[in-house]
Amino acid sequence: MDIKEIFENLDYGTAPEDAKQAQNWLDEQGRKFGHFINGEFTKPSKLFTSNNPANGNELAKISNGTKQDVNIAVKAANEAFPKWSALSGFERAKYLYAIARLIQKNARLFAVLETLDNGKPIRESRDADIPLTIRHFYHHAGWAQHLTKEFPEQVPYGVCGQIIPWNFPLLMLAWKIAPALAAGNCVVLKPAEYTPLTALLFAQICVAAGLPKGVVNIVTGDGTTGACIVEHDDIDKIAFTGSTKVGKIIRKATAGTGKGLSLELGGKSPFIVFEDADIDSAIEGVVDAIWFNQGEVCCAGSRLLVQESIEQKFLKKLKVRMDKLRVGSPLDKSIDIGAIVDIAQVKNIQSLLEKGKEAGGNFYESKGKLPNQGHYIKPTLISNVSPSHPLVQEEIFGPILVAMSFRNPDEAIALANNSIFGLAASVWSENLNLALDIVPRLKAGVIWVNCATQFDASVGFGGYKQSGFGREGGAEGMSAYLKPAFEKKLKPQILEKSQSAKKTEASPISTIDKTAKMFIGGKQVRGDSGYSLDVKNTSGQNIAQVCAGNRKDIRNAVEAARKGLSWGDKTAHLRAQIIYYLAENLDYRKDEFATRISQSTGASATKAKREVELSIE
Ligand code: NAP
Ligand code: MG
């Protein structure tokens, strides 16, 4: 054996973190948990287990929340809301500071418990999940204090239903609870079925911080518990983080209910390396982008796009680096990749890989060994695939990287944007001009230059396209938990069909055909079909006719909107001036608009006028 081989085969041993404190905490709770409602834990019932994915052992039994449990939690939150929202921002900030400090004091317990329940490396829970969680509460304590100054005329929603996934259990809880509380809302949160433990420890922190009862309620359970939260009539806003599939279900379920909604969904983010990039840094960037948290990261850089001129060299170096990644016990302080959260997720990943293999491509698995027990998957690199390959298009949510090449910046942009998702992107180049040209053309909510997976509580995070909408973090994240003060008053105005309205005389249809045209591409156009539809007032009388648009009209409108995309390139100042001009015109013709609103909805003249005035504002 030469010296190189000796080093390669050296067994470095392990450096396990002691799990005794976390195991003792579980023992003290009897390894059985109820829900946390109105400041207390309920009696455990309808139990399911939460397991340690590193060895398959059961950690605790958890209650599966029923409709009745959700009802009680929502009632408690509604009862707590008037007092909590009436506190001054300064008062609410004190609770958020206290929570932050208590998590900080118990950081080690939280980190080990998170690693036990989720399977992520202790290095990551200790150095990323928990510190970011703490920072999130500190940061939002600041927002609570500045609320009235920074968000005048804004009010909290009321009760927020919050549903989170298993990949960053405590951090996602912080992203949801900290801004909601800072804004004056009360919450009912459901952690993921696989990873409820740190949320339950957090419930104890709320008690220790003296948080008023009912402000935070935690109901554990599966998807059906989540659905009960989504469908509850007395919840004012739903904030969801999870898969695009469930996000779509929630969007349909909340449509037309008047509930606020924010969705943080899946992704398939591009990691773009130009030929002039610092290659060694970019290789480390790939490791952070796709092998952080076993690749179970919504914004994982799972599509590697490398400029053709350096493709071979880059992939060769990447394979060498992959072979050095250590996959193993999550509690070992010296491992890079831990366990996959559950055997079901392992099977999801494997079945996607099998499906992908049928579509061709070169598959490279890292050389390192896997532990004998537990749920693990080797880091994998797939190359030589077409952009339509299923593994390029679908979110895998595991340690699997797909690589493609591009010839020039335009091709890189086209490949990067060829996705239903738009969560994040990472651009690598030593040429600042090139990077600044690329960044605004990428359709992604968050874009990193010469780095990846960077987070801070003060920076908004969220998606585009099927990656969702709404932002978490910073001022944008705060505004997701606030709404204009007038909305409460507006609701009845829009919904109410007053008696007097029914009596309002509707203008008779003129004998001359006055079918209103459509507005496409900056001009008025007739519908393709030539058919029209009646517009009726609340008494059922026809008051006008409009074109019945068909597929061709929609196609033309979408094409025109695409051409109009350069609107986004105009300066914000110019856009503001044009919008201001529109408002001026609307103001000039406000009586005309108000009359039409009265005629078609039956609203009184005063209400209709107020509605127009609000639009102008
Ligand atoms: P998921 O299956 O959508 O589940 C997310 C949460 O929703 C879980 O608590 C789940 O309960 C619950 N749920 C399931 N069905 C529901 C329904 N019909 N109504 C209401 N709630 C329901 O997602 P996941 O597999 O846990 O997490 C992975 C996904 O989250 C990935 O797609 C990832 O990209 C995304 N993610 C996005 C972000 C972001 O910020 N954009 C961050 C992290 C993760 P159970 O636990 O019982 O299934
Ligand atoms: Mg678990």
What would the pLDDT profile of 231-250 be if each residue is shown by its tens digit?
Answer: 999 999 999 999 999 999 99
Active site residues: 264, 298
The answer, yes or no, to whether any atom of ligand 1 lies below 6 A from the CB of 422, is no
The answer, yes or no, to whether any atom of ligand 1 lies below 6 A from the CB of 163, is yes
Specify the pLDDT at position 505: 41
In single-letter form, the type of residue at position 297 comes to V
CA 491 vs. chain centroid, Å, equals 27
Mutate to test the pocket of ligand 1, among 62, 197, 243 (most ligand atoms within 8 A of CB): 243
The answer, yes or no, to whether any atom of ligand 1 lies below 6 A from the CB of 340, is no
Instruction: Tell me how many helices (H) and strands (E) the chain has.
Output: 24, 26
Q: What CA–CA distance (Å, rounded) separates 216 from 130?
A: 19
pLDDT (tens digit per residue) in 71-122 = 999 999 999 999 999 999 999 999 999 999 999 999 999 999 999 999 999 9
CATH of 270-456 among 3.40.50.720, 3.40.50.300, 3.40.640.10, 3.40.309.10:
3.40.309.10
Tokens of 312: 């071979």
* Other residues' Cβ atoms within 10 Å of the Cβ of residue 590: 16
Question: In this predicted structure, which of 154-168, 307-321, 374-388, 511-525 has the lowest mean pLDDT?
Answer: 511-525
513 pLDDT band, cuts 50/70/90, is low
The answer, yes or no, to whether any atom of ligand 1 lies below 6 A from the CB of 230, is yes
The protein residue with its alpha carbon nearest to ligand 1, atom 22, reads 223
Give φ, ψ of 112 to 5 degrees.
-70, -40
CATH of 31-50+58-265+472-506 among 3.40.605.10, 2.40.10.10, 3.30.9.10, 3.60.70.12:
3.40.605.10
Alpha-carbon separation of residue 572 from 150, 388, 444, 576, 599 (angstroms):
21, 36, 19, 6, 36
The answer, yes or no, to whether any atom of ligand 1 lies below 6 A from the CB of 190, is yes
Summarize the confidence of residues 505-528 as an average pLDDT: 73
Distance from the alpha carbon of residue 391 to the mean position of ligand 2, in angstroms: 27
Alpha-carbon separation of residue 561 from 425, 439, 555, 556, 566 (angstroms):
24, 22, 10, 9, 10
Tokens of 407: 């010839």
Ligand nearest to the CA of 302: 1
Question: In this predicted structure, which of 121-135, 223-237, 271-285, 573-587 has the lowest mean pLDDT?
Answer: 573-587
Summarize the confidence of residues 482-511 as an average pLDDT: 49
The model's pTM: 0.85
Q: What CA–CA distance (Å, rounded) separates 470 from 419?
A: 19
Q: What CA–CA distance (Å, rounded) separates 175 from 164?
A: 10
CATH code 3.40.605.10 region(s) in the chain: 31-50+58-265+472-506
Q: Using a pLDDT cut of 70, give the percent of the chain over it.
A: 94
CATH code 3.40.309.10 region(s) in the chain: 270-456
pLDDT (tens digit per residue) in 441-458 = 999 999 999 999 999 999
pLDDT (tens digit per residue) in 567-604 = 888 888 788 888 888 888 888 899 999 998 888 888 88
In single-letter form, the type of residue at position 597 comes to I
Distance from the alpha carbon of residue 18 to the mean position of ligand 2, in angstroms: 18
